Amino acid sequence: MKKINLIICGVCGRMGSLLVELALKDSDFFVKGGIEIKNHPMIGKEIKSGVKVFDTLEKIVEKDDIIVDFTVPEATINFLEIVKEKKGKIVIGTTGFKEEQILKIKEVSVYVPVFLSPNMSIGVNLFFEIIRYATKLLKNYEIEIQEIHHHFKKDAPSGTAKKIAEIICNERNLNIGEILTFGRKGITGERRFNEIGIHSLRIGDIVGEHSVFYGGIGEIIEISHRCYNREVFALGALKATKFLNKKEKGFYSMEDYIQEEVINV
């Protein structure tokens, strides 16, 4: 069986390093190289069993290579143009995209296969399915979302919390731009039934915790997902890579993976 050529963007970061480590142990992959920002001290050097670090994607990407990207939105948008030109494929785990950047990602997926997920954990994506079902079931309950991450995280709320809010709004036919409240301060007035509060905590080295609270009269139902290490994200990203390797041009997400590889197996 032909190996999957893998190029990892942000290769010297926490997620990038872990991806290299796990991919080298998996016989389905050949780690072709890694990408880092210009002037990074590792440029031109080798890490982890001969994986060389480059400062530009153009130097190594070829047709059907799969790029796994855990960087920043601006870098991801640049990588997309190169992937499109070279007819590669890309798995995106970067978070914090603006609406216009999401549209750009979807535009590129018309030409090449693109996989985007704010959270690569298989467990958290099954958690999304549970939230979808719970929201259908608990029609008369108020809903609040809480997320907790380490103090290094740059964006808030997390991409996962935004995804949870999107799922809830889709199930209740709500306009997400009108009903979200990000924390509360001052005299806010009584809570509207359809209002959804998102609360972000940044503390210590917590990898990621997400909770959804359904409140009724005299009771609260809490559904939570807690992640204790980053390996779940890296393993999920590699599973997404194998999934995307079988696909033609188009836009894919963990929801597609869950439906095809988990639920319908």
Mean pLDDT calculated for residue range 15-21: 94
What's the confidence (pLDDT) of residue 240? 97
C-beta separation of 237 from 68 below 8 A: yes
Rg (CA), the chain: 20
Active site amino acids: 149, 153
pLDDT digits (tens, 9 = 90+) for 95-136: 889 999 999 999 999 999 999 998 899 999 999 999 999 999
Read off the tokens for 90. 């890309």
Q: Domain 122-227's class?
A: alpha beta
pLDDT digits (tens, 9 = 90+) for 183-234: 999 998 999 999 999 999 999 999 999 999 999 999 999 999 999 998 999 9
The highest-level CATH class for domain 4-116+230-263 is alpha beta
* 265: confidence class by pLDDT, cuts 50, 70, 90: low
Distances (CA, A) of 57 to 35, 96, 188, 221: 7, 22, 49, 47
> What's the gap between Cα 241 and its chain centre?
13
Q: Is the pTM of this model over 0.85?
A: no
pLDDT tens across 45-76, in order?
A: 998 778 999 999 998 999 999 999 999 999 99
Which residue matches tokens 């639920």? Answer: 263
Mean pLDDT of 223-246: 95
Residue labelled with tokens 């290579």: 65
pLDDT band at residue 154 under the 50/70/90 scheme: confident
Helices (H) and strands (E) in the chain, counts: 8, 13
Take residue 68 and report the two structure tokens written for it. 């796994």
Q: Are 261 and 238 in contact (CB under 8 A)?
A: no
Parts of the chain belonging to CATH 3.30.360.10: 122-227
Q: For 235-240, what is the mean pLDDT?
A: 97
**Which residues in the chain are classed under CATH 3.40.50.720?**
4-116+230-263
**pLDDT at site 42:** 92
Q: How many CB atoms lie within 10 A of CB 100?
A: 8
Q: What is the pLDDT of residue 222?
A: 98
